[in-house]
Amino acid sequence: MNFNSFMPPQRTLMGPGPSDVSARVLSALARPTIGHLDPAFVGMMDEIKVLLQKAFITKNAFTIALSAPGSAGMEACFVNLVTAEDTVVVCRNGVFGGRMIENVERLGAKCIIVDSPWGRAVEAEKLEAVLKKHPEAKFVAFVHAETSTGALSDAETLCKIAKAYDCLTIVDAVTSLGGVELRVDDWQIDAVYSGSQKCLSCVPGISPVSFSEKAVEVIKNRSTPVPSWFLDQSLVMNYWSGEGKRSYHHTAPVNSLYALHEALLILNNEGLSQSWQRHKTQHEQLALGLEQLGLKFVVPENERLPQLNTVYIPDGVDDAKVRSYLLNEYNLEIGAGLGAFAGKAWRIGLMGYAARSENVALCLVALKSAIAKFST
Amino acid sequence: MNFNSFMPPQRTLMGPGPSDVSARVLSALARPTIGHLDPAFVGMMDEIKVLLQKAFITKNAFTIALSAPGSAGMEACFVNLVTAEDTVVVCRNGVFGGRMIENVERLGAKCIIVDSPWGRAVEAEKLEAVLKKHPEAKFVAFVHAETSTGALSDAETLCKIAKAYDCLTIVDAVTSLGGVELRVDDWQIDAVYSGSQKCLSCVPGISPVSFSEKAVEVIKNRSTPVPSWFLDQSLVMNYWSGEGKRSYHHTAPVNSLYALHEALLILNNEGLSQSWQRHKTQHEQLALGLEQLGLKFVVPENERLPQLNTVYIPDGVDDAKVRSYLLNEYNLEIGAGLGAFAGKAWRIGLMGYAARSENVALCLVALKSAIAKFST
């Protein structure tokens, strides 16, 4: 076997993530590696904490970037907060709600599932009915922006209901952070995790997480150790604390954090609400064009994620051939369906740096040509 | 608070890791991000597997790069193989052996500890004595190259003893891979993990792991699910399998894997034994110079890691001031002591790309100047 340096093609990334990463972020990524205990690096970690607080709109002191992908961020929230004695209500309306259930079950905790249809928001009244029947519930968990379907749930209302029943809230904001309104403090979210590779348009591999004071108390008052050493946030806290007494836990992914810092800086400079608005504007342009191509959205208009557009594959159109053609002919990646939507839908991302007019234009032209070519 | 792009200083990294990353690897890191399911990316993942097999000297089909740091690689080995019913013998001669114990205990398994002095290799006869007394032991775990002390253990002999008592072997090769002889198949290692940021001189954040057929069988025959979803290697296997049927698990850290691919290519081009020899040669140069400065090694000569040189801080020399001076005046990072050696020793790394004559020369000159300046 002969090996050569890997030269990736230059793609336009309009799938469910990773999203387009700007040259500015890639250039930050490639700056010289320094030690993770270097004072210069520690100062940058402190800035990342502040920039993440701004992005999450939270004052939570425990707001950090976990050194692993979003699925590890999810697991960190569950393994630190939930013990085998607890009852967790998980709302499921797609693949990632299902993954939350996996997490709860592996902890040996009791899981009560609130199912809503795939492609729709989580139904608040169903959650309330379940909480009424289960006063033992200690946590409510749901996905804010379901990456498998493109549905946006009303996180504010769901958290309000959870709080009325004295539950702590665990929210998946992997695809929502930076792309749609998300207010961790105002909405009373106790544990939230996201991913670097969606609307932050950073390289994949990092998971921003934030825990409320109440959540931190729960972690501190555990009677059993967190089953995972790597994800034990009581140890990670001391690694990320800015008090000048940082204690070694693991080696942070130095260069990926350079990139995250730069991506957060870009978001901060644009402004959060401006970023939300840009995603909305580009989505409207794309939706108009997709409808002109005769494509039907999976999600009703008022529950749609602007940053992830899921449309049914028209009858007689060859899914795999269309996606290959887009990739090979236009260097354009769109996403396949996932879970219940595998083979039935496309997922077109407009995340972060990818939410630009030129991407929308390319996608519409390329998709039109592909559909015409591969229809029977 | 005002935020600017982070411009790291250009350091020479001669601590316990991260080690110097070459411009070639940084440039690979910054190539355009593509999708983790892109056929071009999948092809590169397959090459990483082959290059890792060569680096580990193994035919293990299950040889991959885990999407998280070495400490997650450690945890992956333990959580996948060990259940609460098992007995694990852990050899401890430094911080990272202690961390293995943490892992075993959090799983609720029985842990039998074989302690050897810090700064020395693991004592094979002690392991054998313990195994004689404990026929219930199912696993033997130890650290090949103790990053906290600079001691190299005789992995071949330790594994031979473990096998004589019918145990599976779990080996920490975080600091050894690429720097000293390591033969996963010949030495009968069943589970091994390493880190990207040591002798591979890649950016931190990735953990190469490899499981023998026997280990894979143990994973497949588990009666309880792996407690961690993220680290469940039965799921990760399907993500890394080259059969064209890869199933989605998480989003791989795309750019970091570009860098790992390039770093492994560099190692492959140099040749494994040439790399071991280079580490040895540079170590000999450094050791000579350190002795001329009057510094005493912690570890006896025949148990020393060439890639991590631990020397006692001379009486009357101010540890913190010396390290700050090296950093600020020479942009040179050396490591502080860890655990039992905190404040008592320096750890001078010669890992991967850092094992070069110019680094040795700089270190000796700078250290001489610093010691003279901060002695009482």
Answer yes or no: is pLDDT of A317 > 80.
yes
What mean pLDDT comes out for the span A154-177? 98
Helix/strand/coil for B88: strand
What's the pLDDT at A158?
98
Nearest to B1 among A33, A50, A229 (CB): A50
Q: Which residues contact A191 (CB under 8 A, 6 or more apart)?
A: A77, A80, A81, A168, A169, A170, A171, A209, A210, A211, A212, A215
How far, in Å, are A56, A321, A351, A355 from residue A276 at the CA level? Answer: 13, 33, 10, 10
- Within this chain, do residues B188 and B237 fall inside the same structural domain, yes or no? yes
Question: Looking at the structure, do residues A248 and A294 belong to the same domain, yes or no?
Answer: no
| Closest by Cα among A333, A313, A314 to A323 | A333
Decide if B72 and A106 are in contact by the 8 Å CB cutoff: no
Give the residue from B38, B255, B258 with the most A CB atoms within 10 Å of its CB, the best one to mutate.
B255
Neighbouring C-beta atoms of residue A190, cutoff 10 Å: 26
Q: Are residues A348 and A317 in the same domain?
A: yes
What is the percent of chain B with per-residue pLDDT over 90, rounded to a whole number? 95
Find the mean pLDDT for residues B38-50. Answer: 96
Contact, A72 vs A207, CB < 8 A? yes
The alpha-carbon gap from A246 to the nearest alpha carbon of chain B, in Å, equals 13
Q: What is the pLDDT of residue B243?
A: 60
Please check whether residue B3 lies inside any domain of the structure.
no
Partnered with residue A139 across adjacent β-strands are: A88, A168
* Cis preceding-peptide flag for B18 (omega within 30 of 0): yes
Pair (A33, A180) in one structural domain:
yes
The CATH number linked to A201 is 3.40.640.10
What is the least distance, in Å, from the CA of A125 to any CA of chain B? 30
Question: What are the pLDDT digits (tens) for B66-79?
Answer: 999 999 999 999 99
Judged by CB atoms closer than 8 Å, whether chains meet at A71 and B229 is answered as yes
Number of CB atoms found within 10 A of residue A27's CB: 14
Dump pLDDT digits (tens) for B3-14: 999 999 999 999
- pLDDT band (50, 70, 90) for residue A241: confident
The average confidence (pLDDT) of chain A is 97
Q: Is residue B204 part of a domain?
A: yes
pLDDT (average), residues B93-103: 97
Report if residue B7 sits inside a domain.
no
pLDDT value at position B376? 86
Nearest by CB to residue A40, choosing from B9, B36, B68, is B9
**What digits encode the pLDDT tens for the residues A324-348?**
999 999 999 999 999 889 999 999 9
The 10s digit of each residue's pLDDT in A189-216 is 999 999 999 999 999 999 999 999 999 9
Q: Look at residue B2 in the predicted model and tell me its pLDDT.
A: 83
pLDDT value at residue A246: 79
Q: What is the ipTM of this complex?
A: 0.97
What is the Cα–Cα distance from B376 to B374, expressed in whole angstroms?
7
Distance, in Å, from the CA atom of A157 to the CA atom of B284, rounded to the nearest integer, reads 66
Interface mutation target, options B10, B251, B328, B333, chain A, most CBs of A under 10 Å: B251
| Number of helical H runs and strand E runs in chain B | 12, 13
Q: What is the pLDDT of residue B297?
A: 98
* CA-angle at B167, arms to B180 and B177, nearest 5°: 15
In a domain, B194, yes or no: yes
Q: Do B33 and A204 touch (CB under 8 A)?
A: yes
Whether the predicted pLDDT of B255 surpasses 80: yes
For residue B244, pLDDT beyond 70: no
CA distance B103 to A231: 12
- Regarding whether A278 and A212 lie in a shared domain, the answer is no
Interval B321-333 mean pLDDT: 98
Residue ranges of alpha helices (H) inside chain A are 23-29, 39-56, 70-81, 95-106, 124-133, 155-164, 213-220, 233-240, 254-270, 272-292, 319-330, 357-373
Q: Are residues B258 and B322 in the same domain?
A: no
Please indicate, yes or no, whether residues A120 and A166 belong to a single structural domain of this protein: yes
Same domain, B183 and B88: yes
CA distance A265 to chain B (A): 7
Contacts of A65 in chain B (CB under 8 A): none
Domain boundary, last residue among B268, B293, B313: B268
Do B251 and B116 lie in one domain? The reply is yes
Q: pLDDT class for A242, splitting at 50, 70, 90?
A: low
Cβ separation of B30 and A33 shorter than 8 Å?
A: no
Assign B1 a pLDDT band (cuts: 50, 70, 90).
confident
Contact B360, B289 (CB under 8 A): yes
Mean pLDDT (whole number) for B271-282 = 98
For residue B289, what are the domain limits?
12-18+271-373
Mean pLDDT, rounded, for B222-240: 94
Q: What is the CATH number of the domain that holds A322?
A: 3.90.1150.10
What are the backbone dihedrals phi and psi of residue A77, each rounded to the nearest 5 degrees, phi first? -65, -45
Cα–Cα distance between B84 and B67 in angstroms, integer? 26
Q: Tell whether the model's pLDDT for residue A118 goes beyond 90.
A: yes
Kindly state whether residues B275 and B258 are assigned to the same domain.
no
Q: Which residue, A238, A268, A298, sits at the end of a domain? A: A268
Residue B260 has pLDDT above 80, yes or no: yes
The token duo for A261 is 């810092």
Residue A168: the pLDDT is: 98
pLDDT of A376 strictly over 90: no
Contact state of B34 with A11 under an 8 Å Cβ cutoff? yes
What would the two tokens of residue B29 be? 């890191």
How high does pLDDT run on average in chain B?
97
| A192 and A235 co-located in one domain | yes
Number of domains in chain A: 2
More confident residue, A240 or B300: B300
C-alpha count within 13 angstroms, C-beta hemisphere, residue B264:
32
Question: What average pLDDT does this structure show over B84-92?
Answer: 98
Residue B231: inside a domain, yes or no?
yes
Domain assignment present for residue A1? The answer is no
* Same domain assignment for residues B230 and B292: no
pTM: 0.98
Average pLDDT of the segment spanning B74-93: 98
* The pLDDT of residue B183: 98
> Best residue in B38, B48, B71, B230 to probe A by mutation, most A CBs within 10 Å?
B230
Residue A102 has its nearest CB partner, among B229, B256, B258, at B229
Contact A203 B21 (CB under 8 A): no
Average pLDDT of the residues in A288-311: 98
Chain A residues with CB inside 8 Å of B47's CB? 1, 3, 6
Name the domain boundary from B268, B297, B328: B268
Please say if the pLDDT value at position A244 is more than 80: no
**pLDDT mean over A120-125:** 98
Q: How far apart are CA B169 and CA B160, in angstroms?
A: 9
Q: Which of A30, A36, A248 sits opposite B26 (nearest CB)?
A: A30
pLDDT band at A36 (very low <50, low <70, confident <90, very high): very high
Is residue B148 in a domain? Answer: yes
Pick from B102, B205, B227: CB nearest A253:
B205
Query: Across residues B268-283, what is the average pLDDT?
Result: 98
Of A127 and A246, the structure prediction assigns the larger pLDDT to A127
In a domain, A197, yes or no: yes
> What percent of chain A shows pLDDT beyond 90?
95
CA gap B359, A143 in Å, rounded: 50
